[in-house]
Amino acid sequence: MSQSEGTQGITEQDIADFLANTPGFFERHAELLATIQLTHPQGHRAVSLQERQAEMLRARIKGLEQKIMEMIRHGQENVGIADRLHSWTVALMRTPAAADLPKVLTRELRHQFMIPQAGLRLWGVAPAHAEAEFAQAVSPDVKSFAASLTQPYCGINSGFEAARWLGEAESGGTATSLALIPLTREVEVDGVRQQQSFGLLVLGSPDPTRYTAEMGTEFLARIGDIASAALTRLLDA
């Protein structure tokens, strides 16, 4: 059998597999490394294998640096959000009169998180608060919708009743996107502890992209947890 016949069936993959599985090959044939010439990826000039490897390493390092910078940026953003959440929570805790909580809650949300519009409604409040704006009657559909939410709803305002709780004067326009956050408390029914909705917090924006169905709701859920804990002071025991 001739040499050409013996090598006829060898493919590039066969060669690549041989080199990958034979790490000592270039140690035994070190002179080959100096003679290998590759085409530069951004031109047509030939470069050595060592130079090509160095360029690949530089590109990889640059990619890692970009990822690190992105992680740092996200970390700084998260610290900023945590600071604003802390300030909002402290404002609620420092509110001595329970009746002032809804106003402080929505005002500080708008201020701390630059939210154009915020409003809420509660049901099942104590008689002393029955005439307050936050206790105005809502439809059974709103209560049913709030009870059905297992996480905040985000999306386009398609005529939600809750959007009418928002004022347009401060925001400069009608809310086109909304975040609807259920307010709940834990109650015991027939010896079983379960969550019961008692209100709905609504955040709105004239920007249709501010609240979308694709956005994460973990942060909004925390807003709902803190708001629920604070507002239970207004409920009928």
Q: Do 83 and 153 lie in a common domain?
A: no
81 in the same domain as 105: no
Of 94, 117, 149, which closes a domain?
94
Backbone angles phi, psi at 131, to 5 degrees: -95, 0
Q: 124 and 89 in one domain?
A: no
Burial of 111 (0-12, 13-18, 19+ CB in 10 A): middle
**Residue 23: predicted pLDDT:** 78
Rounded CA gap, 212 and 76, in Å?
23
What's the whole-number mean pLDDT along residues 131-138?
95
- Average pLDDT for residues 54-65, to the nearest whole number? 83
Q: What is the CATH number of the domain that holds 212?
A: 3.30.450.40
Please indicate, yes or no, whether residues 132 and 28 belong to a single structural domain of this protein.
no
- In the prediction, which pLDDT does 176 show? 93
Please check whether residues 143 and 73 belong to one and the same domain.
Answer: no
Q: Are residues 205 and 229 in the same domain?
A: yes
What is the pTM assigned to this prediction?
0.69
152 with 221, same domain?
yes
The Cα 149–Cα 180 span in angstroms is 9
Residues 127, 199 within the same domain: yes
pLDDT band for position 169 (50/70/90)? very low
Q: Return the pLDDT at 22.
A: 86
Same domain for 205 and 180: yes
Q: What is the pLDDT of residue 3?
A: 47
Expressed as residue numbers, the domain containing 75 is 9-94
The answer to whether the CB of 175 falls within 8 A of the CB of 204 is: yes
Is 33 within a domain?
A: yes
